[in-house]
Amino acid sequence: MVALSMVPFLGTVGFTASTSFSPYNYKRQISIQNAPFSFPRNEFSSSRRLLRAWPQSCLASGATGGKLPAEQSEIIFIGTGTSEGIPRVSCLTDPVKKCPVCTKATEPGNKNRRLNTSIIIRYAKPSGRCNILIDAGKFFYHSALQWFPTYGIRTIDAVIITHSHADAVGGLDDLRDWTNNVQSSIPIYVAERDFEVMKKSHFYLVDTSVIVPGTAVSELQFKIIPEEPFVVHDLQITPLPVWHGHGYRSLGFRFGNICYISDVSEIPEETYPLLENCQLLILDALRPDRSSVSHFGLPRALEEVRRIKPKRTLFTGMMHLMDYEKVNKNLENLAESEGLDVQLSYDGLRIPITL
């Protein structure tokens, strides 16, 4: 693993939202508090070095994980792919056409191998590190199976939901392993509209009185969040409302000076001020050539990067047309021509941060 001295923390930029909001609980009350936080300022060249350094040391040689000091926060990408996953089964069974990206993705450790988009924020507090999961989609179990042991992740201290599509919430049932065997319950932060969906799609998790007595399902504490800042284990989270297809709302989230927007087709004007002074932008980019009705394609995502002007951008939510090596090589040219620090993320990528 890379020594922490290589992590180029060059300074600190403070960020404090003007308002905060405590979400109300659906089932139980827990106490939550405010806290200020900040993020290190990465210079362009330094952050590029960091992006290249981690995979070589942590992941390529068998993904042994390695330990960071307890006071070091980090993000781990546990999934960076679109809903059906990469490789696509249909590509591997196609008798006529050989899909180059899906073929590469069958190789263990290949960076084109992608599960449903999701990250874990490992927030270092004096009392210990909190693991805050954003989304638990259909392939959550497989992501957790691969990365939790690798990075020594034991608890899930909170889940935050971007929206209620299956690739964001399809794995909530799998959280039973944690609430049966690791911890008593998991708080889950969700917008009212998505909670209404969950009352149908996951009715037995919302109302556990319907299950057969003696059986054990995920014990989730649902907490309804509006489009206002809220606090999770002392970490202030600001929702970033976006459109994910016409008339369908999804949430990105800002924590410190990091902005995460995984499912977006349009950013409303009122959300742009929330993206100012962004150090690290994690942004939806489905395919290399064009956008779809519900996701940015790479050209549109790059337009947004030019407008938002983050220090560094990592794209996520890529489908099988996004070849990790080829696309990243092209993106490197933008560093020379425009000074843009933009790259594709990949499953297992770990980024040290300060909050």
Residue nearer to Zn ion on the CB measure, 120 or 319: 319
Residue nearer to Zn ion on the CB measure, 91 or 342: 91
* Alpha helices (H) in 183-323, listed in sequence order: 192-201, 203-206, 298-308
Q: How far is the CB of 254 from Zn ion (least distance, A)?
A: 19
Spell out the residues 6+ positions from residue 122 whose beta carbon is closer than 8 angstroms to its own: 73, 74, 75, 76, 129, 130, 131, 132, 153
Whether residue 274 contacts residue 257, with contact meaning beta carbons closer than 8 Å, is answered with: no
Residue 99 in the binding site for Zn ion (CB under 5 A): yes
Footprint on residues 248-287 left by Zn ion (CB under 5 A): 263
From 22-30, 84-92, 134-142, 295-303, span contacting Zn ion (CB under 5 A): 84-92
Residue nearer to Zn ion on the CB measure, 129 or 165: 165
Residue nearer to Zn ion on the CB measure, 165 or 254: 165
Residue 91 in the binding site for Zn ion (CB under 5 A): yes
Beta bridge partners of 123: 130
Residue 194 in the binding site for Zn ion (CB under 5 A): no
From 35-43, 162-170, 228-236, 339-347, span contacting Zn ion (CB under 5 A): 162-170
Residue nearer to Zn ion on the CB measure, 46 or 112: 112
Residue nearer to Zn ion on the CB measure, 91 or 191: 91
- Of 165, 233, 287, 311, the one binding Zn ion by CB under 5 A: 165
Residue 88 in the binding site for Zn ion (CB under 5 A): yes
- Of 17, 102, 258, 302, the one binding Zn ion by CB under 5 A: 102
From 63-71, 230-238, 313-321, 344-352, span contacting Zn ion (CB under 5 A): 313-321
Whether residue 310 contacts residue 274, with contact meaning beta carbons closer than 8 Å, is answered with: no
Residue 104 in the binding site for Zn ion (CB under 5 A): no
Distance of CA 237 to the CA centre of its chain: 13
CA–CA gap between residue 20 and residue 151 (Å, rounded): 32
Helix (H, G, I), strand (E, B) or coil at 89: helix
CA distances (Å), origin 271, targets 67, 199, 268, 303, 351: 36, 28, 6, 16, 25
Binding residues for Zn ion (CB under 5 A): 88, 91, 99, 102, 165, 263, 320
